[in-house]
Chains A and B, each alone.
Chain A
């Protein structure tokens, strides 16, 4: 029952979080950001000179114009998101659960990079897969000595969420934001996560809040919220 509740929260809460975090720090997406069609042809070329028969060694002149990027954004496809999550969490091989979740959600992931094609099933697919990856990440880091972990230092998984200080929780969020969002969290986001934590813990009894499973689930849900938010799936 608790597992179902956690899975429910892990889907609903991060989805709500998407509305808060969604565009907080990413560039404004272009109104017409659809990917180019490969079927349009242009005007032609002139001349019928022979093709280059040997590889050229010439290089074009170096362009010194500074590189400028606009806020135009694109959404990751399922395969890109999968690769990105693995890279960011340091995984090399999918567990059965991760693989089955990916297959189960495969059809819902975006097939094109057009951000205007994002829909609710796609967002849920991102969240579900992130949930499985985060579950594996939590399990892996639990087995590592505190202080040697990458993401969950300061967390005593044996003692339940009651033992997690605000400072430790903020450090978790900071670490994941820098890793998954390539920036620090802002005040609004931190407040939202702190509120989320309070709401999350209200669903546990006094006894459950001291148990290991409550810490695991809080970390898993926090990780999934950050890993599947729009800042993690838009590029």
Chain B
């Protein structure tokens, strides 16, 4: 994290004008007694959903306690999720971990995380995380705080806008708003960057953050790996299938590693058969120097796969040549079909990031993965190994029945006996 002088000066001005006094505080009741058992339960529920402590004399705690005493656990959870820190801290923590290769929370806020927070707050269908054509941002000023809104440094070439939201601890619940249509850089003008619309949108998969993390350099295979890892909770070694067709494995994969074809058949093919089958979805996408591009967005541009798809083409010239953004789902043999639970109009193939996102979003695995992530964020312990499969199956179904509402998912999981018990 860095902090520049201009931002510091702006911060100081804001402090001078508005001081550091926040919302009305709770005055402690100095003659009050120790918390009751129910208050302690309410406290724990609040802390885990909101990720902050709460005063014993806070009326919110009293409201939650009263509801718990009536047996209304969900009602108590809903009180907690109305707190801004549910979005600013708890949901943010879950999304931060999904937003980078190291899966660490020690990264700045970014467009992907802001969008996930917005989807949760606005009770959008969570599948729009992988299918939507929008993103979330804050206005140019919040109070007297000026935020970077220059399209080049704030959104398209750098992350300054979201970094500023972090630096100034801006209330994301109150200030994020949705912008329909994802922007893409399609050129550099004399005075400013030229922005076009994203024709191949796929929610946060085509956000600047996700693309910069996984489409910078390489061969666009990492996008597939991390899409599965973050949104289906399945790392590559668990969906590798050496029995799948290698019809789409690229020319850069050696079929005789160390002179041994069997090694390819038993090891390399297992991952590449599935991964390369999907890789074509991102054939027209690339990222570099912090900016993301898609040739479909550029008027009159050739709609041809980028040079990543021809890298090291002499390794095995008879390998698959990517000619368009079609993809094939080779993760559909019995074990993987059962693991992912593919559903929808077309589960065998598609075109572009858009169809790829829909395939993942409509799988049963996506619902279960969201339940697992919420459980980890709120309950902070492993799922019981002997019950994990059944629990996630049930919770995934409940999530779908609620209309894929992430906020509801947080509330319902927080009051499960397996969570805080």
Do A and B originate from a single complex? Answer: yes
A residues near B (Cβ < 8 Å) are: 30, 32-39, 41-52, 55-60, 62-70, 72, 74, 76-80, 82-84, 86-96, 99-100, 103, 106-107, 111-113, 136, 140, 150-151, 171, 174-176, 178-184, 232, 235
User: Are B40 and A69 in contact (CB-based, < 8 A)?
Assistant: yes
For B11, what are the chain A residues with a Cβ–Cβ distance below 8 Å?
93-94, 96, 99
In the complex, which residues 365-421 of chain B have their Cβ closer than 8 Å to any Cβ of chain A?
A: 365, 368, 372-373, 375-376, 380-383, 388-389, 392-393, 398, 400-405, 412, 415, 417, 420-421
How many angstroms from the CA of A52 to the CA of B366 in the assembled complex?
Answer: 13
Nearest B residue to A73 via CB reads: B380
For A72, what are the chain B residues with a Cβ–Cβ distance below 8 Å?
380-381
A-B contact pairs, 24 of them (CB 8 A): A39-B229, A41-B239, A44-B337, A44-B340, A51-B343, A52-B401, A52-B404, A55-B125, A56-B400, A60-B412, A67-B68, A67-B420, A69-B420, A77-B105, A78-B106, A86-B22, A87-B22, A87-B85, A89-B22, A92-B22, A94-B11, A96-B11, A99-B167, A232-B53
For B30, what are the chain A residues with a Cβ–Cβ distance below 8 Å?
171, 174-175, 178
User: Are A111 and B104 in contact (CB-based, < 8 A)?
Assistant: yes
User: Are A80 and B365 in contact (CB-based, < 8 A)?
Assistant: no
User: Are A111 and B32 in contact (CB-based, < 8 A)?
Assistant: no
How many angstroms from the CA of A74 to the CA of B375 in the assembled complex?
Answer: 14
Report the minimal beta-carbon distance from B404 to chain A, rounded to whole angstroms. 7
User: Are B376 and A36 in contact (CB-based, < 8 A)?
Assistant: yes
Report the minimal beta-carbon distance from B70 to chain A, rounded to whole angstroms. 10
How many angstroms from the CA of A107 to the CA of B105 in the assembled complex?
Answer: 11
Neighbour of B52 across the interface among A65, A74, A88, CB < 8 A: A88
Describe A's contact surface by its main secondary structure: loop
Q: How large is the interface on B (under 10, 10 to 19, 20 to 34, 35 or more residues)?
A: 35 or more
Nearest A residue to B77 via CB reads: A67
The contact string, 1 if C-beta is below 8 Å from chain A, for chain B 308-345, is 00000000000000000000000000011111111110
For A232, what are the chain B residues with a Cβ–Cβ distance below 8 Å?
53
How many angstroms from the CA of A23 to the CA of B104 in the assembled complex?
Answer: 28
User: Are A93 and B14 in contact (CB-based, < 8 A)?
Assistant: yes
Interface 9-residue window, one of B86-94, B146-154, B284-292, B349-357: B86-94
B6 adjacent to chain A (CB < 8 Å): no
The contact string, 1 if C-beta is below 8 Å from chain A, for chain B 37-55, is 0011101110110011111
Interface 9-residue window, one of B211-219, B230-238, B262-270, B294-302: B230-238
How many angstroms from the CA of A72 to the CA of B392 in the assembled complex?
Answer: 21
Given contacts A45-B340, A48-B337, 6 further A-B contacts (CB under 8 A): A45-B365, A83-B169, A88-B55, A90-B21, A179-B28, A184-B34
For A84, what are the chain B residues with a Cβ–Cβ distance below 8 Å?
51-53
How many angstroms from the CA of A107 to the CA of B74 in the assembled complex?
Answer: 36
User: Are A35 and B380 in contact (CB-based, < 8 A)?
Assistant: yes
User: Are B51 and A83 in contact (CB-based, < 8 A)?
Assistant: yes
User: Are A63 and B53 in contact (CB-based, < 8 A)?
Assistant: no
B residues near A (Cβ < 8 Å) are: 1, 3, 8, 11-12, 14-15, 18-30, 32-35, 39-41, 43-45, 47-48, 51-57, 61, 68, 71, 73-74, 76, 85, 88-89, 92-93, 97, 103-106, 125, 145, 167-169, 229-230, 233-235, 238-239, 335-344, 347, 362-365, 368, 372-373, 375-376, 380-383, 388-389, 392-393, 398, 400-405, 412, 415, 417, 420-421
User: Are A111 and B106 in contact (CB-based, < 8 A)?
Assistant: yes
User: Are A150 and B25 in contact (CB-based, < 8 A)?
Assistant: yes
Neighbour of B22 across the interface among A57, A77, A90, A106, CB < 8 A: A90
User: Are B421 and A68 in contact (CB-based, < 8 A)?
Assistant: yes
For A79, what are the chain B residues with a Cβ–Cβ distance below 8 Å?
89, 92-93, 105
How many angstroms from the CA of A150 to the CA of B24 in the assembled complex?
Answer: 10
For A65, what are the chain B residues with a Cβ–Cβ distance below 8 Å?
417
User: Are B339 and A45 in contact (CB-based, < 8 A)?
Assistant: yes
User: Are A184 and B421 in contact (CB-based, < 8 A)?
Assistant: no
For A46, what are the chain B residues with a Cβ–Cβ distance below 8 Å?
338, 341
Neighbour of B3 across the interface among A51, A100, A180, CB < 8 A: A100
Closest 7 CB pairs of A and B: A55-B403, A44-B338, A92-B22, A45-B341, A84-B52, A90-B25, A44-B339
User: Are B88 and A83 in contact (CB-based, < 8 A)?
Assistant: yes
User: Are B3 and A178 in contact (CB-based, < 8 A)?
Assistant: no
Nearest B residue to A136 via CB reads: B20
Interface hub of B20, B57, B375 (most chain A Cβ within 10 A): B20
For A87, what are the chain B residues with a Cβ–Cβ distance below 8 Å?
22, 52-53, 85
For A42, what are the chain B residues with a Cβ–Cβ distance below 8 Å?
368, 388-389, 392
Nearest A residue to B11 via CB reads: A96
Neighbour of B415 across the interface among A38, A67, A103, A184, CB < 8 A: A67
Nearest A residue to B234 via CB reads: A41
User: Are B19 and A140 in contact (CB-based, < 8 A)?
Assistant: yes
How many angstroms from the CA of A35 to the CA of B365 in the assembled complex?
Answer: 21
Report the minimal beta-carbon distance from A178 to chain B, rounded to whole angstroms. 4
For A107, what are the chain B residues with a Cβ–Cβ distance below 8 Å?
106
For A178, what are the chain B residues with a Cβ–Cβ distance below 8 Å?
28-30, 32, 55-57
For B125, what are the chain A residues with a Cβ–Cβ distance below 8 Å?
55
User: Are B398 and A60 in contact (CB-based, < 8 A)?
Assistant: yes
Nearest A residue to B408 via CB reads: A59
Given A50-B344, A69-B421, A88-B55, CB of A45 within 8 Å of CB of B34: no
User: Are B29 and A62 in contact (CB-based, < 8 A)?
Assistant: no
For B338, what are the chain A residues with a Cβ–Cβ distance below 8 Å?
43-46
User: Are B89 and A45 in contact (CB-based, < 8 A)?
Assistant: no
User: Are B93 and A52 in contact (CB-based, < 8 A)?
Assistant: no
User: Are A60 and B382 in contact (CB-based, < 8 A)?
Assistant: no
Neighbour of B400 across the interface among A52, A78, A95, CB < 8 A: A52
For A94, what are the chain B residues with a Cβ–Cβ distance below 8 Å?
11, 20, 168-169
How many angstroms from the CA of A113 to the CA of B125 in the assembled complex?
Answer: 28
